[in-house]
């Protein structure tokens, strides 16, 4: 199952889940400030499931940690976390990786990733091939939007 930490990213999570043929769920989140969030419930049935958490950005990890607490309450079997922009400030990567149900954390390198070797659960995917292909398409007059599955 794919889980969005909040309703703001639910559309992206739903599109990702659809490509994988999986159901989707989302957290009901309220942000109080940069360091305080509350996820009061999970919308969708995650009980006993393996989940992929899809987020656009992880900065301090407060939302992710709060979501992990709610998922744990639902007895999820395992969690894999994927984000586009992994800032991982203030030790966020280590705190997230320390959760026993977290099997893997994946981020692109749109921002400089943390030093390698901080956790064996962390994978960085390069955006360079996608950028190179977009530049090539622009140069030869081909569609860039077709790269993203749009006509």
Residues marked active site are found at 29
Q: Whole-angstrom distance between the N-terminal and C-terminal Cα of the chain?
A: 28
Neighbours of 58 (CB within 10 A): 26
Distance between CA atoms of residues 109 and 128, nearest Å? 9
Distance between CA atoms of residues 106 and 37, nearest Å? 22
Q: What is the CA radius of gyration of the chain?
A: 16
Query: 69 phi and psi, to 5 degrees?
Result: -60, -45
β-strands 24-33, 78-86 pairing: unpaired
């Amino acid at each position: 199952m794919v889980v969005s930490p909040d309703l703001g990213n639910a559309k992206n999570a739903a599109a990702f889940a659809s490509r994988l043929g999986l159901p989707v769920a989302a957290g009901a989140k309220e942000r109080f400030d940069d360091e305080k969030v509350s996820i009061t419930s999970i919308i969708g049935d995650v009980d006993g499931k393996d989940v992929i958490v899809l987020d656009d950005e992880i900065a301090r990890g407060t939302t992710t940690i709060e979501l992990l607490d709610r998922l744990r309450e639902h007895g999820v079997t395992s969690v894999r976390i994927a984000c586009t922009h992994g800032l991982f400030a203030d030790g966020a990567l280590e705190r997230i990786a320390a959760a026993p149900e977290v099997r893997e954390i994946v981020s692109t390198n749109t921002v400089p990733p943390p030093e390698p070797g901080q956790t064996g659960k962390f994978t960085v995917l390069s955006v360079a091939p996608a950028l190179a292909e977009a530049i090539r398409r622009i140069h030869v007059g081909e569609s860039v939007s077709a790269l993203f599955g749009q006509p």
